[in-house]
Amino acid sequence: MLLTTHDMADIEKTCNRMIIIDWGQMVYDGQLETIRQQYGRIRFQFHKDQMSASQLIARISEQEEIADLTIEEPEIESIIKEIYEGSAAVRETAPTDRIQVSV
């Protein structure tokens, strides 16, 4: 089956191999797992009120070698999406301080 899409969720659900074409040139042809290993990042989410960034980094470094580290606040779009999908509890108190760490 050949599926052409820009929807990465479709690719992950239906394919184990993908081809990436950029401006008419094939830039990748291979397994999804291979591209994850070569270009993927490990992401952790935590709540600042439950754990500090330094505590999380210490826990991660006990299990993995950290070659690079980025800490960023979540985009408001992802927060709203979580609320609508029911995976985030909506509180009437102060907003949750969440941070995403990519290693």
| 41-99 pLDDT tens trace | 777 778 878 888 888 889 888 887 887 888 888 888 887 888 888 765 555 444 445 55
Report if pTM > 0.75. no
Looking at residue 64, the DSSP 8-state letter turns out to be S
> pLDDT of 20-48, one tens digit each?
888 899 999 999 888 888 877 777 778 87
**Is the pLDDT score of 1 beyond 80?**
no
Q: Are 31 and 79 in contact (CB under 8 A)?
A: no
Rounded alpha-carbon distances, angstroms, from residue 15 to 31, 34, 42: 9, 13, 21
Mean pLDDT across 1-18:
84
